[in-house]
Amino acid sequence: MKQCSSRSNWCLLSVIDQRLRIDTCRYLIEILSRRITGD
């Protein structure tokens, strides 16, 4: 039972990690585009 719960937790963490990476990428792209445009 412990293995199952740990696996589900790992799945949740991986999903959250993916979303965080996507958010950080968008954030970095926004900063870069602002610097390029001069804002």
**Helix, strand, coil in percent for the chain, rounding step 5:** 90, 0, 10
Query: Average model confidence (pLDDT) for the chain?
Result: 86
Is residue 20 predicted with pLDDT exceeding 60? yes
The DSSP code for 34 is H
Query: What is the average pLDDT across 5-18?
Result: 84
Q: Specify the residue for token string 């963490």.
A: 13
The torsion of the CA quartet 17, 19, 24, 30, rounded to 10 degrees, works out to: 170
Query: What is the average pLDDT across 23-39?
Result: 92
